[in-house]
Amino acid sequence: MNPEITALDKKIMKHLQDNIPSSIHPYKDIADDVGISEEEVIAKIKLYKDKKWIRRFGATLRHQKAGFSANGMGVWKVPNPADRQPMGEIMASFREVSHCYERPSYEDWQYNLFTMIHGQSKEECEEVARRISEKTGIKEYTMLYSSREFKKSSMRYFP
């Protein structure tokens, strides 16, 4: 954890990780609970945003059920390390790709670029992977689909 984060910061951020209070003066409620002034709470939240500890502060809407429901993890073999940066950038440029990472590979797992691909169906995800393959020239790849979801939760950084 970032050593700049103080015990007071943890207390304040704990109040921000789920829902801010629903009253008309939410920051006043947090301030009262933490034992500092409303102005201090506001200044702290602005500081957390500036420091990029908070990447977004706002409303999250509920998912719509219809539409883009399928997702597949596309994994790609790029043996030459020097090729991975440009290839990764091409993959990241696809609108359908939400996440793109380089990860370590192993003897029995030689895929080193990972892409989360979203579509309306499995077929659409496959089609996106084909387009990525064409554009990057990477022929060795596979798509892993989830057959069961065991857990999906938001990280609670401040228990």
Partner 1 sequence: MELDNTDKSILNIIQTGFPVDARPYAVIGEQVGLTEEEAHARVMNMKSGGVIRRIGASFDSGGLQFSSTLCSAKVPPEKVDEMVAAINRYPEVTHNYERNHAYNVWFTVIAESRERIQQILDEISAKTGVGGIRNMPATIKFKIKVDFKFKKDKQEEEEE
Closest approach of partner 1 to the CB of residue 139, in Å: 19
Rounded to whole angstroms, the Cα distance separating 27 from 16 reads: 10
Q: Tell me how long the chain is.
A: 159
In whole angstroms, give the CA distance from residue 118 to residue 70: 6
Give the shortest CB-69-to-partner 1 separation in angstroms: 10
Nearer to partner 1, 35 or 147 (CB): 147
> Helix, strand or coil for residue 78?
coil
In the bound state with partner 1, the residue whose beta carbon lies nearer, of 120 and 130, is: 120
Residue 134 beta carbon to partner 1: minimum distance, rounded to whole angstroms: 19
CB atoms under 10 Å from CB of 21, counted, come to 14
Q: Which residues contact 52 (CB under 8 A, 6 or more apart)?
A: none
Minimum separation from the CB atom of position 4 to partner 1 (A) = 9
